[in-house]
Amino acid sequence: MRTIRTVPELRAHLTRVEGRVGLVPTMGAFHAGHESLIGAARADTDHVVVSLFVNPAQFNDPRDLEAYPRDERADASIAQELGADVLFAPAPETVYPDGFATTVRVAGLSDVLEGAQRGPGHFAGVCTVVAKLFNMVRPDVAYFGQKDAQQVAVLRRMVEDLDFPLALEVCPTVREPDGLALSSRNVRLSPGERAKAAGLPQALRVAAEGGVEAGLAVLREYGIEPEYLALVDPDTFEAPGPLAVVAATVGTTRLIDNVLIERAATPERRGADPKGAVSVLPTP
């Protein structure tokens, strides 16, 4: 595996490769969720590029950006073990050089739930960096996790609206045995907070079966005050719909999760269609 840091070097490398290119965009701090994305890219495509860039433009809180876990050496070794061909790890000034003045923004979808909580710049920051990565790498397929369901919906809209010639693959959320969705932020939870965080997937499961009020009651039992718990459409993120979504800060760690109501999926669709990418939660 090669580590590449500049766009000219990346372009020169990619002109020499043959076959389908898979891109796994990441902000590092790899866990089994990232590993499943890299594994899917390795299985489906001929040349796997994993990008590693903690994107300042998508953080509304400088303390959150500062505290974001970073360990390039460990990430590089995981990517190599999983068969990635390139780790593309650009410096901030490579992505945002002096004079950078363009923003890609998906109206509407970017302003609700995660967008409303994290501020108007969050999804614009995601779209701008992902559009740049798509132009830098020119992948045939790009891989994202279902855990960031609203990010997936926003990026789908962007890909369609801007005619990016690529496919988006959405991989199911990877979970701990008690249902907690894997996240790079989980390492910041104390043991007590970790136990409390298990309330999030439980509340989603209950909300998906019995409605938002029932889910909120579970969160209260766990002592969690959510930013939102809602049942929305997975494409528009408008209520009502079959996707249960939640965001809450546990201790000082902000966590999000979602689960699609089971009846929306058939076994054939699972894993093949993002609307069928059901997060299977353990029963309590």
Q: What does 144-188 look like in DSSP terms, one character per residue?
A: EEGGGHHHHHHHHHHHHHTT-SSEEEEEPPPB-TTSPBP-GGGGG
274 binds ligand PAF (CB under 6 A): no
183 binds ligand PAF (CB under 6 A): no
* Least distance to ligand PAF, CB of residue 135, Å: 14
* Active-site option among 13, 31, 34, 122: 34
Contacts of 258 (CB under 8 A, 6+ apart): 146, 147, 149, 173, 204, 243, 244, 245, 246, 279
* Least distance to ligand PAF, CB of residue 127, Å: 9
Total number of residues shown for the chain: 284
Question: And the tokens for 263?
Answer: 């009846």
Stretch that binds ligand PAF, among 11-19, 23-31, 106-114, 230-238 (CB under 6 A): 23-31
Q: Is the link from the previous residue into 240 a cis peptide, with omega within 30 of 0?
A: yes
Kindly tell me which residue out of 29, 41, 129, 141 binds ligand PAF, with binding defined by CB under 6 A. Answer: 129
* Dihedral pair phi/psi, residue 20, rounded to 5°: -85, 135
> For residues 153 and 258, is the Cβ–Cβ distance under 8 A?
no
Smallest CA-to-CA distance from 127 within 101, 104, 145 is with 104
126 binds ligand PAF (CB under 6 A): yes
* Least distance to ligand PAF, CB of residue 211, Å: 29
Kindly tell me which residue out of 114, 148, 169, 257 binds ligand PAF, with binding defined by CB under 6 A. Answer: 148
Q: Examine the residue annotation and report whether 122 is marked as an active-site residue of this protein.
A: no
* Least distance to ligand PAF, CB of residue 133, Å: 8
Question: And the tokens for 135?
Answer: 């132009």
27 binds ligand PAF (CB under 6 A): yes
Q: How far apart (Å, rounded) are the C-alpha atoms in residues 245 and 149? A: 8
* Least distance to ligand PAF, CB of residue 70, Å: 13
199 binds ligand PAF (CB under 6 A): no
> For residues 145 and 24, is the Cβ–Cβ distance under 8 A?
no
Kindly tell me which residue out of 38, 78, 86, 130 binds ligand PAF, with binding defined by CB under 6 A. Answer: 130
The residues of the shown chain that bind ligand PAF, judged by CB under 6 A, are: 25-27, 55, 58, 126, 129-130, 148, 151
